[in-house]
């Protein structure tokens, strides 16, 4: 009412610029069409998972949105953790996701550059070589104390740097950023820039033994790679100050750094610390076990890349902590695979059903209710299997329809379920159940992935295996085919006698 009063008296006060509904990710600051460069910088230290997918998709979407470029860069500066197979696995995962990058590189290929920058840092006095032991350093950082090394002069630092490259053993010396030991931000209390690692690098073997740490490598790489907008997860937020400080001292161009929340599903941890033991102890079958949030596992399970992309974008670009809803992913996936999933009948926990007066020998059924995916013929002899679940609810006298064939009336439940055909007319009101012909039934197992962890505890029942029978047509399908078992759910054919339950 106050508003209406305003409208009549001072309409000019109410003219606001139009708010438009935004489509896709939020706009970026300082983003020029055609000039945006983003980067996806995984460390090749494990198999790619949903978290990688989120990062890569966001990186790519922004590059696309602004007609810019995406750089795919392996941040491989810790030979202790990296392995060749992980480089490959991550690349495979990215390709599967359909993320297209404009350039691929390894941070480790820029070691000469990184060394030059390190020397520049030392020469200009912005960094020093510290030979204190780990405990002292950590104690000093906590107590805001500088150590003796930080007062060392240029000659000392130059000499020590040389010794790091040649003599010192791992742990004996590190290059530290001259930050501020009194900073509220603990990251700034003279953080490590480079350290010695003697381990052989998967690509460069023993060529280098002084390796940059994350902050040093990333800031330099992002800058020289021409990255304009660098996205990383929230836990790096406190490192922004360091990132900018490094580039500042080096007088290098500064990208914009933005953070987003990590993506993890409830009860589906992504961390190597948790996953590795599961694989080693055989609690899961491998990194492609369908219960896992790895890309390989999702692929096996029947989740398609387009669904992951839609899902990730539906989460938007935010810093708020989210417990991602797996059911939303499933819903996107279902809509995508439904039009191409062939329909088949399945009987889980099968129970026999005899139709006494069967008069058919064969029936032809469409492979899909809407799309033309052809038809299949099924031989019939009056002996069927139906799913245990359906069997349980049957009583003598019940009338049900065996889908696509005829209506039957139950005449006997024990010892076997028996029935008579009543008629052939489709009756909307009676229950309709699927069946499998017993003479040609194909035995399969259905792997049903459930939540892996319940309250931080490994769920011993996280994988249910159901025995089932299906139609012979199953045998003609390729491994990898997505099937919708009518009235049961979507499954992906994983092998000749095994399917994985995708979702309902």
Partner RNA sequence: GCUCCUGUGGUGUAGUCCGGCUAAGCAUACUGCCCUCUCAAGGCAGUGAUCCCGGGUUCAAAUCCCGGCGGGAGCACCA
**Which residue, 285 or 420, has its beta carbon nearer to RNA?**
420
User: What 3-state DSSP class applies to 311?
Assistant: helix
Among 236, 384, 385, 474, contact with RNA (rule: CB under 7 A):
236
Residue 346: which H helix or E strand, with range?
Answer: strand 346-348
Q: Is 361 exposed, middle or buried (0-12, 13-18, 19+ CB in 10 A)?
A: exposed
Q: Count of CB atoms within 10 A of residue 459's CB?
A: 15
13-42 positions binding RNA, by CB under 7 A: 13-14, 16-19, 21-22, 26, 41-42
> Could you give the CA distance from residue 420 to residue 397 in angstroms, rounded to a whole number?
10
> Could you give the CA distance from residue 246 to residue 190 in angstroms, rounded to a whole number?
12
- What the block records as the tokens of 349 is 């926990």
Asked if 146 interacts with RNA (CB under 7 A), we say: no
**Which residue, 45 or 383, has its beta carbon nearer to RNA?**
45
Asked if 261 interacts with RNA (CB under 7 A), we say: yes
- Region near RNA per CB under 7 A, out of 279-287, 375-383, 398-406, 439-447: 398-406
Asked if 200 interacts with RNA (CB under 7 A), we say: no
402-431 positions binding RNA, by CB under 7 A: 403-405, 426, 428
305-324 positions binding RNA, by CB under 7 A: 314-324
**Which residue, 35 or 504, has its beta carbon nearer to RNA?**
504
DSSP string, 122-172: HHTTSEEEE---HHHHHHHHHHT---GGGG--HHHHHHHHHHHHHTPPTTS
**Which residue, 170 or 472, has its beta carbon nearer to RNA?**
170
CB 45 within 8 A of CB 201: no
CB 247 within 8 A of CB 253: yes
37-66 positions binding RNA, by CB under 7 A: 41-43
**Which residue, 61 or 390, has its beta carbon nearer to RNA?**
390
204-233 positions binding RNA, by CB under 7 A: 211-214, 217-218
Asked if 81 interacts with RNA (CB under 7 A), we say: yes
Asked if 388 interacts with RNA (CB under 7 A), we say: no
Minimum CB–partner distance for residue 426 and RNA (Å): 5
Residue whose structure tokens are 């000019």: 12
Among 71, 196, 295, 499, contact with RNA (rule: CB under 7 A):
196
> Could you give the CA distance from residue 158 to residue 155 in angstroms, rounded to a whole number?
5
Minimum CB–partner distance for residue 192 and RNA (Å): 3
- What is residue 87's DSSP assignment? H
Among 67, 125, 277, 339, contact with RNA (rule: CB under 7 A):
339
- Residues in the interface with RNA (CB under 7 A) total 90
Asked if 276 interacts with RNA (CB under 7 A), we say: no
Minimum CB–partner distance for residue 285 and RNA (Å): 26
Asked if 199 interacts with RNA (CB under 7 A), we say: no
- What the block records as the tokens of 467 is 């025995």
**Whether the bond into 344 is cis, omega within 30 of 0:** no
CB 454 within 8 A of CB 403: no
Asked if 104 interacts with RNA (CB under 7 A), we say: no
């Amino acid at each position: 009412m106050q508003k209406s009063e305003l409208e009549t008296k001072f309409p000019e006060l109410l003219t606001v610029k139009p708010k438009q509904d935004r489509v896709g990710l939020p706009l970026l600051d300082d983003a020029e069409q055609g000039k945006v460069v983003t980067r996806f910088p995984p460390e090749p230290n494990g198999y790619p998972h949903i978290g990688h997918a989120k990062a890569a998709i966001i990186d790519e979407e922004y590059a696309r949105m602004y007609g810019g470029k995406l750089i795919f860069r392996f941040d491989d500066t810790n030979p202790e953790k990296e392995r060749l197979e992980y480089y490959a696995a991550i690349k495979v995962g990215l390709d599967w996701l359909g993320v297209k990058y404009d350039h691929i590189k390894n941070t480790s290929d820029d070691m000469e550059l990184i060394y030059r920058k390190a020397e520049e840092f030392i020469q200009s006095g912005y960094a020093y070589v510290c030979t204190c032991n780990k405990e002292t350093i950590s104690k000093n950082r906590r107590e805001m104390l500088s150590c003796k090394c930080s007062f060392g002069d240029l000659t000392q630092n130059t000499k020590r740097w040389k010794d790091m490259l040649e003599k010192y053993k791992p742990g004996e010396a590190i290059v530290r950023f001259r930050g501020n030991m009194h900073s509220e931000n603990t990251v700034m209390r003279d953080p490590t820039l480079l350290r010695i690692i003697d381990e052989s690098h998967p690509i460069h073997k023993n060529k280098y033994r002084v390796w940059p740490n994350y902050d040093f490598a990333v800031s330099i790489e992002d800058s020289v790679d021409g990255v304009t907008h660098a996205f990383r997860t929230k836990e790096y937020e406190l490192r922004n100050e360091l990132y900018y400080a490094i580039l500042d001292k080096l007088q290098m161009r500064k990208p914009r750094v933005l953070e987003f929340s990590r993506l993890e599903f409830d009860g589906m941890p992504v961390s190597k610390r948790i996953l590795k033991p599961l694989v080693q102890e055989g609690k899961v079958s491998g990194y492609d076990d369908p219960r896992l949030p790895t890309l390989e596992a999702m692929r096996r399970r029947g989740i398609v890349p387009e669904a992951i992309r839609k899902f990730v974008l539906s989460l938007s670009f935010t810093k708020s902590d989210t417990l991602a809803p797996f059911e939303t992913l499933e819903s996107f996936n279902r809509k995508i695979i439904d039009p191409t999933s062939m329909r088949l009948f399945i009987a889980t926990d099968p129970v026999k059903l005899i139709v006494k007066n069967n008069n058919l020998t064969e029936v032809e059924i469409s492979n899909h209710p809407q799309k033309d995916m052809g038809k299949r013929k099924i031989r019939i002899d009056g002996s069927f299997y139906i799913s245990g679940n359906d069997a349980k609810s049957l009583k003598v006298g019940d009338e049900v329809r065996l889908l696509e064939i005829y209506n039957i009336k139950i005449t006997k439940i024990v010892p076997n379920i028996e029935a008579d055909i009543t008629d052939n007319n489709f009756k909307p009101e009676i229950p309709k159940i699927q069946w499998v012909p017993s003479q040609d039934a194909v035995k399969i197992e259905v792997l049903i992935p459930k939540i892996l962890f319940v309250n931080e505890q490994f769920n011993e029942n996280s994988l249910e295996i159901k025995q089932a029978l299906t139609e012979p047509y199953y045998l003609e399908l390729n491994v990898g085919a997505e099937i919708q078992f009518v009235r049961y759910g979507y499954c992906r054919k994983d092998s000749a006698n095994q399917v994985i339950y995708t979702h309902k």
